[in-house]
Amino acid sequence: FLTVCAKGRNSEQILQTINTANACIMNACTQILGVFVTDCSEELGAELMKDYTARNCANSCEQETRVSQTPLWVLPQINEENKNSSLEIFVNCIREKDILNALHQPFNAPTTPYAFQYSLLGKAKEQKKTIVLPEGEEDRILKAADYLLERDIVNLIIVGERESILKRAEELNLNSVCKASFQSMSDEAMLSHMITKLCELRAKKGMTESQAREQLSDASYFGTMLVVLGQADGLVSGSVNSTANTVRPALQVIKTKPGSKLVSGAFLMCFKDHVAVFADCAINTNPNAEQLADIAIQSANTAEAFGLDPKVGMLSYSTLGSGKGPDVDTVEEATRIVKEKASDLAVVGSIQFDAAWSPTVAAAKAKDNPIAGHVNVFVFPDLCAGNIAYKAVQRSSGALAIGPILQGLNKPVNDLSRGALVQDIINTVALTAIEAQRE
């Protein structure tokens, strides 16, 4: 419960204090059950209740204004004359039933970035998977591996020479890297097995043994073949290599899932109190309607894998027909295809970002649409929009961006930014393991 003293304050100042306190309390992952305003005159109390009720109505759609849903009670000034009757005054002003009702308010704790990262590690640990890290000579990879192995979250195969990797780990004071398995790229027995399999998979492309050996000199390709051969359940790469170097081997030998015609890239965007999915922010430059529909369905599956109830918004500059043009037509056609392919999926489109995000805007722009204003899977019309949006939101709001998650592959392969921090690598390995659990 929150108590605010009204002495020397007007109604607006009191409400501002309540809102400020609510923001702090929400950031701590809890909520206000009720507000007591003390030292309040009868006249100020009436004005305050009127303003509070009006604000409650105006904000009733907004998720972030949960304080507006909580009861407010006004208490008169307690002075020398009535201090002995303070309990009686309290009882007369506030019904016991109202207090009990406040105590039984349902509350879903907001998912903070830290809480979400912690939940990733917990989920990954529930059913341990083996993830291959092809960039074993990179310090950030070794630090992330040490963290994960120390906590027994995943099994790891680190590509590289065991002796040199452990020597570097010792120099970095990393004591758990030794728990990993190590795979040398010069292991002739493994190379022979890989070459045979790669020639088989790429036979239609005329792959020769010498060409296969040359391709396997690339660490990302070598690591990908460990996944193909069943030595590992997934792969994380990209701290040194480009996205193309990570994605190309996966497309060539892991290939897409049955029913998926493309691979797309999604980000888990962790805001201060919830998580959303943004896609495609990494792979497909200018998708057509059918490709956009596939991206939407893939992204909904990703959301579900990480505990979200997917509500998909197909984004454009038009909300439910408010604007016209070929780009809008593409998004509307994509929405139709999604509804046809995944009839149980909650989807709205085309829709502008503000109407997808904000219940208040949705009430004006998409009245009576149950999904508008509650979207948590945002499908952008092209790569320019998606890539700009996730970076703009990440930098301007402080949201944590986890990804890109490569969607649509037969086995989980995920890319890192070359600027990835150790925590980014830890997160990506954990989510790759979680994806592998669903295979």
pLDDT at 104 over 80: no
The Cα 312–Cα 428 span in angstroms is 23
Look up residue 177 and give its two tokens: 């890297």
**What is the residue type of 242?**
S
Q: pLDDT higher for 56 or 291?
A: 291
Name residue, tokens 């081997």: 249
- Tell me, what's the pLDDT at 98? 85
Handedness of CA 369, 372, 375, 381 (dihedral sign): positive
Look up residue 13 and give its two tokens: 């100042």
- Range 198-212 burial, b when 16+ CB lie within 10 A, else e: bbebbeeeebeeeeb
Per-residue pLDDT band at 53 (split at 50, 70, 90): confident
- Tell me, what's the pLDDT at 59? 52
- Tell me, what's the pLDDT at 66? 43
pLDDT one-digit tens code per residue, 159-211 = 999 999 999 999 999 999 999 999 999 999 999 999 999 999 999 999 999 99
The mean pLDDT value for 368-384 works out to 95
DSSP helix/strand/coil, 70:
coil
DSSP helix/strand/coil, 134:
coil
Task: Please answer whether residues 392 and 255 qualify as being in contact, where contact means their C-beta atoms are separated by less than 8 angstroms.
Answer: no
CA 246 to chain centre: 22
* CA trace torsion 80, 82, 86, 91 (10° rounding): -160
Strand 264-270 to strand 400-407: parallel, antiparallel, or no bridges (unpaired)?
Answer: antiparallel
Strand 181-183 to strand 275-279: parallel, antiparallel, or no bridges (unpaired)?
Answer: unpaired
The mean pLDDT value for 22-35 works out to 74
pLDDT at 107 over 60: no
Q: DSSP of 157-214, one letter per residue?
A: EEES-HHHHHHHHHHTT-SSGGGSEEE-TT-HHHHHHHHHHHHHHTGGGT--HHHHHH
- Tell me, what's the pLDDT at 60? 47
- Tell me, what's the pLDDT at 362? 93
pLDDT at 10 over 60: yes
Percent over 90 (pLDDT), the chain: 64
Q: How far is CA 195 from CA 190, 198, 208, 221, 246, in A?
A: 9, 5, 9, 11, 19
Task: Please answer whether residues 19 and 9 qualify as being in contact, where contact means their C-beta atoms are separated by less than 8 angstroms.
Answer: no
pLDDT at 68 over 80: no
Task: Please answer whether residues 130 and 156 qualify as being in contact, where contact means their C-beta atoms are separated by less than 8 angstroms.
Answer: yes
pLDDT one-digit tens code per residue, 265-303 = 999 999 887 899 999 998 999 999 999 999 999 999 999
The Cα 183–Cα 168 span in angstroms is 16
Task: Supply the mean pLDDT for the chain.
Answer: 89
Q: For the whole model, what pTM was predicted?
A: 0.73
Look up residue 431 and give its two tokens: 């989510």
- Tell me, what's the pLDDT at 268? 94
- Tell me the range of 95-99, 142-146, 305-309, 363-367 where mean pLDDT is highest: 142-146
Among the residues of 275-382, which ranges form H helices?
A: 289-305, 326-341, 353-357, 359-365
- Tell me, what's the pLDDT at 61? 45
The Cα 195–Cα 208 span in angstroms is 9
- Tell me, what's the pLDDT at 113? 76
Q: pLDDT higher for 246 or 379?
A: 379
pLDDT at 57 over 80: no
pLDDT at 62 over 70: no
The mean pLDDT value for 395-419 works out to 90
Task: Please answer whether residues 9 and 17 qualify as being in contact, where contact means their C-beta atoms are separated by less than 8 angstroms.
Answer: yes
Look up residue 370 and give its two tokens: 């149950």
- Range 67-81 burial, b when 16+ CB lie within 10 A, else e: bbebbbbbbbeeeee
pLDDT at 399 over 70: yes
